[in-house]
Amino acid sequence: MLSDPAAKMSEEAVPKADAAARLPTLAVATIGHVGCGKSSVVAGLTLIAARLPGYEAVYRSVWELDRRGGSPPLLRSSLLSERDAVRRADREIQPPETLTIRGAKEVIGLPSRRIVAVDCPGRRPWLKNVARGLAVADALLLVVSAPESVQSQTEEHLQLARALGLEQVVVFLNKCDEVFDLEWLDLVERDVRESLDRCGFDGDATRILRGAAGQVIAGEDAWEASLRDLLGALETDLEVPARVVEGPPLLYIDRFYRARRPNHRVLVEGRVLRGSIAAGDRLQLRGLGLETGVSVGSIENFNRRIERASAGDQIGMLLYQPDGDLRADRLRVGQAVVDPRAPDVPLLARLEVEITLLGPTLNGRPTPLGDGHDLMCIFGTVLLSGCVFLEGRPPIAAGERGRARIHLRGNAHLEPGMTFALHDGHQGPWDSKEPHKACWGGLVGRGRILAAEPTRPAE
């Protein structure tokens, strides 16, 4: 993974990776309601890991994490420019408040493994960015604000993670310094376990830790033990899943940048889901309106030049066309990088799926899912809208399971067996300020691809 798009393009500036075998990598997505302190927890983990012997990390402040995640500062006055706000913050020794939009990835080296902490946003308008973070994760770090307990986005993020196939989770009760009643913390812990059970996780077996990441960043030594325990839980309580290292490679584009030097090259970031990718390989970009051959110029893994990336690695790689001009404006998040020599897998636009709708207690649809309904299908980094056709079957009621056919408005590299989340925009409360616009209803269910028909949608 490359940290600075402007500096990533210089191939000579990146050192070669050591020949020694690398530690196994576990990607952990940090999820939770907005304002619960997800970025503070990630920043605190990098701070503690940078101090401990045998650990390796670069401390990133909350300000740095949000800036790396593409978040503009929330200016204290609408009359202030961003530069003026930063200058005022320097004088007040406090940066302007920020908001995580896209999220950043930080690597933390533990004695037995490397943790890639994916800082996900919390607000509902950027739920698709949460899905992009979950698509490259192996496990979850659920952050819950101890004074507030479980909130709306807490369960929505858990439902999204479960729909995308994640099962491992560790919980951190943050801001415990603001709670002076231990019985309240016990009640919050019980609420968290019940929420985990409702969302399909094992609440009783989940480890829950208590702490205050903000106090650790502020220099309060009394709370450092909580983050040290959290580092230990990430090392011992979560398992590194088995990787599919054989077979044709598969990577979905998570981000892409136009390379300044050399010309006609594009830097793409993503995670190798299957197989391996080596420098010099001839691959193919396909899906979302593009199907073209490319070559791999170089590969980096968190500022380390590597010759080959295997399944589970977060990488950035330079792609180019030897006989053409690969333009960044043709790339889209969610396009797949595959091996053109592999057996042909057609681009899919019509899916035979099994759908499980959320019940009313999980903020699901208030009405059954009928024929001809429009939904947003979230396949991790792939985001496409589609129309549901029941083909004579009865409507699928809230909390029930049924089969249907979905016609996607676009085609993508999808495979049978993949799971996805369903996002509905035709329900939810009305906005009093803009009564003509309905708010997004959020997640309403999950699905699994049973079969597919390689037919492109009609233009």
Structural domains in the chain, CATH included, are 25-236 (3.40.50.300), 250-338 (2.40.30.10), 348-453 (2.40.30.10)
350 contacts 408 by C-beta, under 8 angstroms? yes
What number of other Cβ atoms are within 10 A of residue 341's Cβ? 9
* DSSP 8-state symbol, 16: B
Burial 228-251 (b: 16+ CB within 10 A, else e): bebbebbbebbebeebeeeeebbb
456 contacts 394 by C-beta, under 8 angstroms? no
CA distance 23 to 313: 11
Residue stretches of the chain with pLDDT short of 50: 1-21, 75-83, 85-95, 426-440, 456-459
Query: What is the model's pLDDT at position 260?
Result: 63
Query: What is the model's pLDDT at position 449?
Result: 95
Query: What is the model's pLDDT at position 441?
Result: 58
Q: Compute the C-alpha angle 265/266/270, nearest 5°.
A: 145
The alpha helices in 351-398, defined as continuous H runs, are none
Query: What is the model's pLDDT at position 101?
Result: 77
243 contacts 311 by C-beta, under 8 angstroms? yes
pLDDT per residue over 202-247, tens digit each? 999 999 999 999 999 999 999 999 999 999 999 999 999 999 998 8
Query: What is the model's pLDDT at position 426?
Result: 47
Pull the structure tokens for residue 111: 């004695």
Packing angle, helices 38-51 and 224-236, rounded to 10: 90
Residue 394 exposure: Cα atoms within 13 Å on the Cβ side: 4
Query: What is the model's pLDDT at position 262?
Result: 56
Q: Compute the C-alpha angle 201/209/218, nearest 5°.
A: 135
Query: What is the model's pLDDT at position 21?
Result: 45
Pull the structure tokens for residue 65: 């994490």
Answer left, alpha or beta for residue 103, where phi above 0 means left and psi between -120 and 50 means alpha.
left
Answer left, alpha or beta for residue 54, where phi above 0 means left and psi between -120 and 50 means alpha.
left
* DSSP 8-state symbol, 163: H
DSSP-assigned beta bridge partners for residue 93: none
388 contacts 372 by C-beta, under 8 angstroms? yes
CA distance 355 to 394: 13
Query: What is the model's pLDDT at position 452?
Result: 80
Query: What is the model's pLDDT at position 128?
Result: 86
Query: What is the model's pLDDT at position 438?
Result: 41
pLDDT per residue over 334-376, tens digit each? 999 999 887 777 888 999 999 999 988 888 888 899 999 988 9
Nearest to 375 by CA among 360, 362, 364: 364
Contacts of 270 (CB under 8 A, 6+ apart): 136, 251, 252, 253, 254, 255, 314, 315, 337, 381
137 contacts 174 by C-beta, under 8 angstroms? no
Classified as helix, coil or strand, 135 is: helix
- Cα 228 to Cα 55, 129, 187, 364, 413, distances in angstroms: 11, 28, 24, 38, 41
Contacts of 186 (CB under 8 A, 6+ apart): none
CA distance 37 to 30: 10
Q: Compute the C-alpha angle 75/76/78, nearest 5°.
A: 70
pLDDT per residue over 255-297, tens digit each? 998 766 656 789 999 999 999 999 999 999 999 988 999 999 9
This prediction's pTM: 0.86
